[in-house]
Amino acid sequence: MEQIVETSFFNRDLSWLKFNERILMEAERNTVPLLERIKFLSIFSSNLDEFYRVRMPVLLALEKLSNKDDNDIRMDDNLLNTANQLISEQQQRYGKVLQSDLIPLLKENKINLIYGKPFPPEIQKNITRYFLSQVMAFLQPVYINANSNFFPSNNELYFLITLKKKEDAEVVILNIPSNQLARFYKVETADETFIVFLDDIVRFHLDRVFPESEVTGCYSFKITRDAEIDLKDEYSGSLSEQLEKQLLKRDAGLATRFLHQPGIPDNVFELLKKLFNLKKANRIEGGQYHNLKDFMGFPVNSPKLSNQNWPKLCNTDLIDGSLTEAIYKKDIIVHTPYQSYDSVLRFFNEAAIDAEVKEIYVTLYRVASDSKIVNALISAAKNGKKVTVLVELKARFDEANNIKWAKKMKEAGIDIIYSVTALKVHAKVALVKRQTGNRMRYSGLFATGNFNESTAAFYTDHILMTANKEMLREVELLFIFLAKRVKPTSLNLIKFNHLLVAQFNLQEVFLHLIEREIEHAKQGKPSGITIKMNNLEEKVLINKLYEASSAGVKIEMIVRSICRLIPGVPGMSENIKVTRIVDRYLEHGRVFIFHNLGKNDVYLGSADWMNRNIYRRIEVCFPIYNEQIKQEMIAIIEIQKQDNVQAVCIDENMNNIPVKKSEPLIESQHDIYELLKNK
Alpha-carbon distance 53 to 56, whole Å?
Answer: 7
- Pairing assessment for the beta strands 158-165 and 214-225 based on DSSP bridges: antiparallel
Residue 143 parent element (H or E): strand 142-144
Angstrom CA distances, 257 to 42, 276, 528, 609, stand at 19, 12, 45, 30
Report the interhelical angle of 506-522 vs 539-550 (nearest 10°): 10
Q: Residue 572 carries which DSSP code?
A: T
Count how many Cα atoms sit within 13 Å of the Cα of residue 2 in the half-sphere of its side chain. 5
Burial class, 622, CB count within 10 angstroms (exposed 0-12 / middle 13-18 / buried 19+): buried
User: Integer distance in angstroms from the first to the last C-alpha of the chain?
Assistant: 45
Q: How far is CA 267 from CA 144, 162, 175, 263, 272, in A?
A: 13, 12, 21, 12, 9
Q: Which residues make Cβ contacts (< 8 Å) with residue 86, sequence separation at least 6?
A: 14, 17, 18, 21
d(CA 371, CA 379): 13
Q: What are the angstrom distances between the C-alpha of 332 and each of 154, 320, 459, 499, 633?
A: 44, 15, 19, 18, 12
Closest CA to 107 of 94, 121, 120: 120
For strands 255-260 and 386-391, give the pairing.
Answer: unpaired
Look at residue 397 and give its three-state secondary structure. Answer: coil
Residues labelled catalytic:
426
Taking the C-alpha atoms of residue 202 and residue 6, their distance in angstroms, rounded to an integer, is: 52
| Residues paired with residue 111 on neighbouring β-strands, in sequence order | 193
